[in-house]
Amino acid sequence: MTQIDKNELLELEILRHVETTPRLNNRMAAAKLGCSVKLAHALISKMVDRGLLHVKKLHSRRWDYFLTPHGIAEKGRLTYEFLDFSLNFYHNARKHSSLTCRRLAEAGKKEIAFLGTGDLAEIVYLGVKEWGLELVEVFDGNTPKTFLGHPVQPIKELPGSKADAIIVCLYDKANPMRKDYLPENIVRKNNMCWIFQENEDQKPKDPELHTNTTPMKELLKKNNLTLSPAERMAKFEALQKNALQNMSPEGKIRFTRRNMRKRAVPRSPEILKS
C-alpha cells in the first residue's frame, strides 16, 4: 500500500472523534479535518447514508452522532490499513532518507537545514547522524520552540538560510510519498532536496565508480571493458588453458567431450596433451 485515500483518511478521523464524543457539527469537523465546511458536511452526510453513523437530534442546534456496528467495523478496517501504510511509509522514509544523506555527504555537503519538524524530520535525522552531517538550521510554520535541541525558526526566515542543503521534511498527508512536495506558500530553492525523489541527480553515486582516487580508465581496465573482442577472447583462452593444466586426466577428458559437443573448443587431441 503506497498511499491512503484522502476521503478514507478523513472518514477515519471522524470515526475516531465520534468514538470519543457524540458532539459533532460541520464547523467542528471542518476545523478538525482542515477542510471547508461544505466538504465536511458532504462527508458526514455520506457516512450517515452509508450507515456508518447514527444521528440523534436533540434540538435544532445540536445533533449527536454515534457509531453503528457497521461504523465500528469500518473504523477497524481503516485503522488496520492506516497502520499497514504507516509501517510501509516508515520503512521507505528511512531507506530514502539514508540514501539522500549519503548523496549529500558524497557531494561534500556538511551543514544541513530541515524544513519541517514532524515525524518525517525525526526519521531523516537518523540519516543525518548516520552519514556524519550536521543539522544547523530548522524551519517550520508551526513554530515549535525546539526540535531535538535545535531552535526552530519561522518559515519566513528560510530565504536567508546559510546551510549547504535544505532537506524538505514536509509531506502531503493524502499522499505522503508524493515526489517533490512543497506547500504553495513556500518558495522553492535550488539547494532543496526531497526524500521521495527518484531523479538521476537525486540517486546516490556508486562510491567505487565515482571516487576521486581511482581513475575511471583503471576501473574499466580492471573490468576488461577497454579490451577489444580479440583481446578478450585471447584472455579467455589463456584462462581456459590454465584451468585445464590444473585438472586431473579424468577431468580433462570430461571437459573436452562436453565442450566438443557444444563446439566451444576445436576438436583436436592436442588439448588433452596441454
Residue with cell 526519521: 123
The region, left, alpha or beta by phi > 0 then psi within -120 to 50, assigned to residue 134 is beta
pTM of the model: 0.54
Check whether 267 has a pLDDT greater than 60: no
Cβ(40)–Cβ(30) below 8 Å: yes
All structural domains of the chain with their residue ranges: 6-67, 92-205, 229-273
Give the pLDDT score at 177. Answer: 75
Report residue 65: phi and psi, to 5°: -120, 140
CA distance readout (Å), 178 to 67, 116, 127, 173, 249 = 33, 16, 20, 9, 64
pLDDT confidence band for 258 (50 / 70 / 90): low
Nearest to 244 by CA among 235, 252, 234, 253: 252
Distance CA 168, CA 157 (A): 15
Check whether 113 has a pLDDT greater than 60: yes
92-205 is classed in which CATH architecture? 3-Layer(aba) Sandwich (3.40)
Span 130-159, pLDDT tens digits: 999 999 999 998 766 888 889 999 988 998
Distance CA 253, CA 79 (A): 67
If 0-12 CB within 10 Å is exposed, 13-18 middle and 19+ buried, where does residue 138 land? buried
Write the CATH number of the domain with boundaries 6-67: 1.10.10.10
Cβ(105)–Cβ(207) below 8 Å: no
SS (H, E, C) the chain: CCCCCHHHHHHHHHHHHHHHCCECCHHHHHHHHCCCHHHHHHHHHHHHHCCCEEEEEEECCEEEEEECHHHHHHHHHHHHHHHHHHHHHHHHHHHHHHHHHHHHHHCCCCEEEEECCCHHHHHHHHHHHHCCCEEEEEECCCCCCEECCEEEECHHHHHHCCCCEEEECCCECCECCCCCCCCCCCCCCCCEEECCCCCHHHCCCCHHHHCCCCCHHHHHHHCCCCCCHHHHHHHHHHHHHHHHHCCCHHHHHHHHHHHHHCCCCCCCCHHHHC
pLDDT confidence band for 246 (50 / 70 / 90): low
Residue with cell 514536509: 170
pLDDT confidence band for 31 (50 / 70 / 90): confident
Higher per-residue pLDDT: 259 or 29: 29
C-alpha cell at 190: 535550488
Partnered with residue 112 across adjacent β-strands are 135, 165
Residue with cell 458526514: 44
Span 181-219, pLDDT tens digits: 888 888 888 899 998 874 444 444 444 333 333 444 444
Q: What is the mean pLDDT of the chain?
A: 77
Higher per-residue pLDDT: 207 or 46: 46
